[in-house]
C-alpha cells in the first residue's frame, strides 16, 4: 500500500470553495423552487465582448488551416503577448523577458510553492486567499507542525483588519523566507498605499525575504495614487515577484490566462537569479498557456479590447457600489467595494459560517464566510460583486428583508 502524503492530512478542512458549493447544493436540494443568487465565489458572469470573442474565434479557425496551425509554444508564453503585457499593463517598468505567461494566478502560486520547496517559511495576510496557506501546507512548508494544536510553526499570520487599517504590524513579525501580499486584498478589498508597500519592501530587504505580490484585482483600482503593481514602488525589483491574471480583469476565469513577473535583480541567498529557477520550473512542469487563449489575451490588450475590458470592470464595480450601499444602509460595518470587487461586512454577534448559513437559507443568497480566509475573518462575510445586475439588485432586496 502507498503511504498517504502526510502533508495532506495536515489540512484541517476541505478547500473553502468546494465546501461552499456543497452547502449551496444541499440548500437547492431541500428547496428546489428557490432561486439561489450567488455573491459567493469570485467568478465572472458577463459574456466576453465582441472584439475579444472575434479574436478567439479567428484563432480557432486558424488552427484549421495549414498556415494558421500551431502546436506547443514557448512555455514562457508568446513573445508578442509578453511584450504587450510589459508595455500596456506595466508601461515599460518591467521587461518582456521578465514576464511569464501562464494558465492563471492560482496555478502560478502552486508552481512557486514547488520552486521554493518544503523548507521555506511563510507569512500571509490574515485574512487572505486560502491558496497561500493550503498550498504551502500541501508542499510541507509547515515547519514544526504540532498535530494536537493544529499549528503550523512555519506559517505566520499577519493580522490585517480595521484596527490596523488592513496593514500588518511589521515590527512584531518574525522573519520568514516568503511573504504573500495581495493588494487589492481578497477578501477585505483593502489596497496598500505606495508608502505601505515601501515599508513592506524595506522589511523584506532587511530580512532577506522574498515578497510574492498577488495583483489579481489590480484592474479594479480606480484611485490613481494607489499602486497597481509592486514594481511601481522603489526597491521592489530586488525583493519581489508578482502574479496576475486575466481572470477578473477580462472575464477569463474559465478561459484561463495569467502571468508572473520575476525581475532579473531578484536573487536567492547563493546569488542564483530566481528567474533562472522559475524558468526551470515553468519549462519542466508547465507546457505553456493555450495558444488560442493567448491570442484572446492579446486582443484584450489592444486599444479597442482594453476599452471593452474597462467597460466590464465598470459593470462589476457598479455592482459593488450597489452592494456596499445596501449593506451600509442596513447598518453593517462594511469595507472594500471601491477599488475592489469584494465587500467585507462584519456580522455583529455571529460566527461567519453561522451568518453564511443564515443568509443562504433565509435569503437564498450565497456569500463566502470570512473564517475561510483565516482566523481574522471570523465574524465577517464576503460579498462578491461578480453577478448579473438584476440578480445583484434582487439579492440586496432580499438581504434588506432578512438582515435589515
Ligand atoms: C475559486 C487573490 C476567487 N476555484 O483565476 P486565477 O487562477 O488567475 O486566479 C485565482 C486567484 C488568484 N489570486 C487571488 C484570487 O482571489 C483568485 C481567485 N479567487 C475567490 O472567490 O476568492 C475564486 C476562487 C477558485 C479557487 O479556488 O481559487
Best substitution site from 102, 216, 380 to test ligand 1's pocket, by max atoms within 8 Å of Cβ? 216
Give the pLDDT band (50/70/90) at residue 293: very high
Q: Give the CA-trace dihedral at 316, 318, 323, 327, to 10 degrees.
A: 140
Give the pLDDT band (50/70/90) at residue 404: confident
Query: What is the DSSP code string of 215-280?
Result: -TTGGG---TTS-SSGGGSTTGGGTEEEEEESHHHHT-TTT--EEEE--TT-B-TTS-BHHHHHHH
Expressed in angstroms and rounded, the spacing between residue 107 Cα and the centre of ligand 1 is 10
Name residues whose C-beta falls within 8 Å of residue 388's C-beta, 6 or more positions apart in sequence.
Answer: 45, 46
pLDDT digits (tens, 9 = 90+) for 160-198: 999 999 999 999 899 999 999 999 999 999 999 999 999
Q: How far apart are CA 313 and CA 229, in angstroms?
A: 18
Q: How far apart are CA 177 and CA 120, in angstroms?
A: 6
Best substitution site from 20, 160, 185, 186 to test ligand 1's pocket, by max atoms within 8 Å of Cβ? 186
Instruction: Cell numbers for 25, please give them.
Output: 447544493
Expressed in angstroms and rounded, the spacing between residue 117 Cα and the centre of ligand 1 is 22
The arithmetic mean of pLDDT across residues 141-170, rounded, is 83
Closest CA to 246 of 234, 238, 233, 255: 255
Closest CA to 104 of 261, 253, 297, 283: 253
237 pLDDT higher than 80: yes
Pairing of strands 365-366, 368-369: unpaired
Are the C-beta atoms of 38 and 383 separated by less than 8 Å? no
Are the C-beta atoms of 218 and 229 separated by less than 8 Å? yes
Expressed in angstroms and rounded, the spacing between residue 372 Cα and the centre of ligand 1 is 13
Name residues whose C-beta falls within 8 Å of residue 326's C-beta, 6 or more positions apart in sequence.
Answer: 396, 399, 400
Give the pLDDT band (50/70/90) at residue 59: very high
Are the C-beta atoms of 355 and 381 separated by less than 8 Å? yes
* Secondary structure (H, E, C), 340-371: CCEEEEECCCCCHHHHHHHHHHHHCEECEEHH
pTM over 0.75, yes/no: yes
Q: Give the CA-trace dihedral at 39, 40, 42, 46, to 10 degrees.
A: -40
Are the C-beta atoms of 125 and 189 separated by less than 8 Å? no
Q: How far apart are CA 257 and CA 399, in angstroms?
A: 34
Pairing of strands 178-182, 122-126: parallel
By residue count, the chain amounts to 404
- Mean pLDDT (the chain) is 96
Which CATH number fits the domain 52-302, given the four candidates 3.90.45.10, 1.10.3720.10, 3.30.70.270, 3.40.640.10?
3.40.640.10
Q: How far apart are CA 227 and CA 213, in angstroms?
A: 12
Name residues whose C-beta falls within 8 Å of residue 306's C-beta, 6 or more positions apart in sequence.
Answer: 88, 300
Best substitution site from 22, 129, 187, 254 to test ligand 1's pocket, by max atoms within 8 Å of Cβ? 129
Question: So what's the architecture of 6-48+305-403 in CATH?
Answer: Alpha-Beta Complex (3.90)
Would you give the end-to-end CA distance of the chain in angstroms?
Answer: 56
Give the pLDDT band (50/70/90) at residue 142: confident
Protein residues whose CB sits closer than 6 Å to any atom of ligand 1: 17, 41-42, 104-107, 129, 131, 182, 186, 214, 216, 245, 247, 253, 258
Name residues whose C-beta falls within 8 Å of residue 206's C-beta, 6 or more positions apart in sequence.
Answer: none
Domain boundaries, the chain: 6-48+305-403, 52-302
Residue with cell 471593452: 308
The arithmetic mean of pLDDT across residues 189-213, rounded, is 98
Q: What pLDDT shows up at residue 154?
A: 78
Pairing of strands 155-159, 99-102: unpaired
Q: Which residues pair with 5 in a beta bridge?
A: none
Expressed in angstroms and rounded, the spacing between residue 106 Cα and the centre of ligand 1 is 6
Nearest CA to ligand 1 atom 25: 17
Name residues whose C-beta falls within 8 Å of residue 351's C-beta, 6 or more positions apart in sequence.
Answer: 371, 378, 379
Count of CA atoms in the C-beta half-sphere (13 A) of 270 = 3
Q: How far apart are CA 342 and CA 190, in angstroms?
A: 9
Q: What pLDDT shows up at residue 145?
A: 67
pLDDT digits (tens, 9 = 90+) for 342-376: 999 999 999 999 999 999 999 999 999 999 999 99
Q: How far apart are CA 323 and CA 389, in angstroms?
A: 11
pLDDT digits (tens, 9 = 90+) for 176-186: 999 999 999 99
The arithmetic mean of pLDDT across residues 135-163, rounded, is 81
Amino acid at each position: 500500500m502507498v503511504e498517504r502524503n502526510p502533508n495532506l492530512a495536515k489540512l484541517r478542512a476541505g478547500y473553502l470553495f468546494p465546501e461552499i458549493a456543497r452547502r449551496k447544493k444541499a440548500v437547492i436540494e431541500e428547496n428546489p423552487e428557490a432561486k439561489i443568487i450567488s455573491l459567493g465565489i469570485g467568478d465572472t458572469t458577463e459574456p466576453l465582448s465582441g472584439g475579444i470573442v472575434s479574436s478567439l474565434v479567428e484563432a480557432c479557425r486558424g488552427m484549421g488551416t495549414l498556415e494558421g496551425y500551431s502546436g506547443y509554444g514557448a512555455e514562457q508564453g508568446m513573445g508578442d503577448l509578453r511584450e504587450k503585457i510589459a508595455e500596456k499593463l506595466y508601461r515599460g517598468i518591467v521587461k518582456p523577458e521578465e514576464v511569464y505567461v501562464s494558465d492563471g494566478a492560482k496555478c502560478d502560486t502552486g508552481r512557486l510553492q514547488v520552486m521554493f520547496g518544503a523548507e521555506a517559511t511563510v507569512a500571509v495576510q490574515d485574512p487572505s486567499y486560502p491558496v497561500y496557506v493550503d498550498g504551502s501546507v500541501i508542499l510541507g512548508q509547515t515547519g514544526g507542525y504540532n498535530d494536537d494544536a493544529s499549528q503550523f510553526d512555519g506559517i505566520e499570520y499577519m493580522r490585517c483588519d480595521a484596527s490596523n487599517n488592513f496593514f500588518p504590524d511589521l515590527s512584531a513579525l518574525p522573519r520568514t523566507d516568503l511573504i504573500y501580499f495581495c493588494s487589492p486584498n481578497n477578501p477585505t478589498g483593502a489596497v496598500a498605499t505606495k508608502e505601505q508597500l515601501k515599508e513592506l519592501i524595506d522589511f523584506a530587504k532587511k530580512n532577506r525575504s522574498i515578497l510574492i505580490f498577488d495583483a489579481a484585482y489590480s484592474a479594479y483600482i480606480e484611485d490613481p495614487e494607489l499602486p497597481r503593481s509592486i514594481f511601481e514602488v522603489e526597491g521592489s525589483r530586488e525583493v519581489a515577484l508578482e502574479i496576475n491574471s486575466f481572470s477578473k480583469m477580462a472575464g477569463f476565469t474559465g478561459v484561463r490566462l495569467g502571468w508572473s513577473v520575476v525581475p532579473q535583480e531578484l536573487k536567492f541567498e547563493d546569488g542564483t537569479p530566481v528567474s533562472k529557477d522559475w524558468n526551470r520550473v515553468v519549462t519542466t512542469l508547465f507546457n505553456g498557456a493555450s495558444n488560442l487563449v493567448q491570442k484572446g489575451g492579446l486582443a484584450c490588450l489592444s486599444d479597442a479590447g482594453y476599452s471593452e475590458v474597462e467597460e466590464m470592470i465598470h459593470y462589476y464595480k457598479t455592482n459593488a457600489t450597489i452592494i456596499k450601499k445596501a449593506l451600509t444602509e442596513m447598518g453593517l460595518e462594511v469595507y472594500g467595494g471601491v477599488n475592489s470587487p469584494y465587500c467585507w461586512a462584519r456580522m455583529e454577534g455571529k460566527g461567519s459560517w453561522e451568518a453564511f448559513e443564515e443568509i443562504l437559507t433565509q435569503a437564498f443568497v450565497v456569500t463566502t464566510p470570512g473564517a475561510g480566509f483565516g482566523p481574522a475573518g471570523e465574524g465577517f462575510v464576503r460579498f462578491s460583486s461578480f453577478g448579473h445586475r438584476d440578480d445583484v439588485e434582487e439579492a440586496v432586496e432580499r438581504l434588506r428583508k432578512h438582515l435589515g
